[in-house]
A = this chain, B = another copy of it.
């Protein structure tokens, strides 16, 4: 049930980059990586309940028996894959923000910074489709998963992303562009607006311009009053 088991040969295969060493250790890590990659793809595509171990094994090019040598079972496999994937996505987001903001910084264009932040957030869904497939699954099936799994995923993924957004918004507020009360609330609103643009309720292709960022920046109010 727990994310990391304590006995047996289990481990977080995705975290092991295994840059050193060949031999069976290398092969073992490769199998583990293949399994997690395949599981991420199939879980994201078909959802937890519809995904069979056989399908994952086929996609990974391993036998089902090998999967059970690496993971305790379907549920633990899903938890491990989700956690690793969320960590990678969150780290990718933070790095992407850093990259885009320093690229836009030279002009000191803080408005461009906000747009860059929105673009980084919007790019996630396109860059990690398998991961967000899994996220949709969790959101639907959260009551049927162990709470530790949910909590661990939130901490590793969305909450970390929101914290980063809040930090950046606070910077922009200090720079004079924004007026934010609670930065974490503002971060939730920002994320909601940006992702709302993407889905277009529902299924239409994502527009490249981020109207939500404009809405966030300008607001719809004609007379600006202080809250």
Seen from chain A, the residues whose Cβ lies within 8 Å of a Cβ on chain B are 45-47, 49-50, 136-137, 139-144, 150, 154, 158-159, 162, 176-180, 185-186, 188-189, 191-193, 195-197, 200-203, 211-212, 214-222, 224-225, 227
Contact = CB atoms under 8 A, between A and B. Distances in A.
Contacts of A215: 186, 189, 216, 219
A191 B202 contact: no
Given A140-B139, A162-B201, A201-B158, A219 B219 contact: yes
Nearest to A158: B201
Contacts of A46: 144
A118 B137 CA distance: 28
**Interface of A: prevailing SS:** helix
Contact of A196 (B136, B140, B188): B188
A186 B50 contact: no
Contacts of A162: 201
Copies of this chain per assembly: 2
A218 B221 contact: yes
Nearest to A190: B220
30 contacts: A47-B49, A47-B140, A47-B144, A49-B50, A50-B141, A50-B144, A137-B140, A139-B202, A140-B140, A140-B141, A154-B201, A158-B201, A159-B201, A176-B222, A177-B221, A177-B222, A178-B220, A178-B221, A179-B222, A188-B200, A191-B201, A192-B196, A192-B212, A215-B216, A216-B219, A218-B219, A218-B221, A218-B224, A218-B227, A219-B221
A115 to B, nearest CB: 13
Contacts of A195: 192
Given A186-B220, A193-B193, A140 B136 contact: yes
Pick the 8 closest A-B CB pairs, nearest first. Answer: A219-B219, A192-B196, A49-B49, A140-B140, A192-B192, A136-B140, A224-B224, A189-B215
Given A188-B196, A193-B193, A217-B221, 4 more contacts: A154-B201, A177-B221, A188-B201, A219-B220
